Amino acid sequence: MTRKTSGPAGGRRPRDVVADALRERIRSGALEPGARLPTQRALETEFSVGRSAVREALAALTREGLLENVGRGSSPTVAAPDHHAETPRIAGVELTDRLHEAFQAEHVTIDSFSLTSETLNNALAWPIRQVMDRRPAPRSVRARLLVPSLDARLALPRLIDDPEDPKPRRRLHQMQTAYVHAVENSLSSLARFGVEVSLTVRAVPLTPTHKLYLLNRDEALIGYYQVVRNEKAVYEGEQLALYDVLGLTTKLFRSTDGPEARDEQESAFVAESQRFFDSLWDTIAVPFE
């Protein structure tokens, strides 16, 4: 699948609506370090949600290291950057921030190897919104996505009681297709702002044990999938009990080959990660359909 390009919309949980809005205010600088958030009652009114949704949103932002002093009888405050910048963070948060930085370059490249591209799709929302807000925009964005091929016998996901049943793989293919098209739609929106965009998607006969993102060929982000029991998966109206994988909440570890590199080993890791991706791309990968 190779396209010159244009995520799923709607259906977000109330806590995600609140968390996304506050996260954007923090990242944009509208809420600076040390600033106190509105009261929970004020957030309930602003977003028309219940108290539980507000509390869950604040808890999520606290886990991400964006808030501190939560639950101490007063409104939480925005954490200083040094409270969270150097520690591994969950994939959705870390990738969003690193993509925002990557989009400051004139020519952006994104190489992604993952199970479904869900995390990438979610993380693109913030940098794309910045471009739409007339912030400095790159001249071009080139993305290459690798996902597992369903022609191969994947180890995961699978039914707990019947590893050969094809329904988990069919369900996975539906998810892959949905998120690949969501990434395509998100990137294509940049064309209206004069950004040249290309997206190529290929499949490889491998079961990913990790997710890998390579940004501008000088930064690598890697996180490991955790295998879990998922007994509430649904496929065509049927509830499935799966051995499944978690990716959105896994932590990403960042390495750079740029001026911030700590040592030669870190630079070498980025280079080898890029070679790993390129070797799959240039040999056994086939167009994703």
List, for residues 128-184, the tens digit of each pLDDT value: 888 887 777 899 999 999 999 988 888 999 999 999 999 999 999 999 999 999 999
| Residue whose structure tokens are 């994939």 | 91
> Dihedral of CA 142/220/122/206: which sign?
positive
Predicted pLDDT at 258: 78
Predicted pLDDT at 202: 97
Q: What is the pLDDT of residues 193-239, one digit of tens each?
A: 899 999 999 999 999 999 999 999 999 999 999 999 999 999 999 99
Pair 124, 22 in one domain: no
Q: For 75, phi and psi rounded to 5 degrees?
A: -65, 145
Q: Could you give the angle at which helices 91-102 and 14-28 cross, rounded to 10 degrees?
A: 40
What amino acid is encoded at 130 in this protein? Q
Pair 169, 56 in one domain: no
Domain that holds residue 31: 14-83
Pair 175, 282 in one domain: yes
Among 83, 113, 134, where does a domain finish?
83
Beta bridge partners, 227, equal 245
| Residue whose structure tokens are 């499949």 | 203
Predicted pLDDT at 29: 77
Predicted pLDDT at 86: 60
What amino acid is encoded at 218 in this protein? D
In the predicted model, is pLDDT for residue 83 greater than 80? no
Measured distance CA(27)–CA(74) in Å, rounded? 22
Q: Which range is least confidently modeled, 55-64, 76-85, 116-125?
A: 76-85
Beta bridge partners, 199, equal 3, 143
The number of domains in the chain is 2
Pair 45, 147 in one domain: no
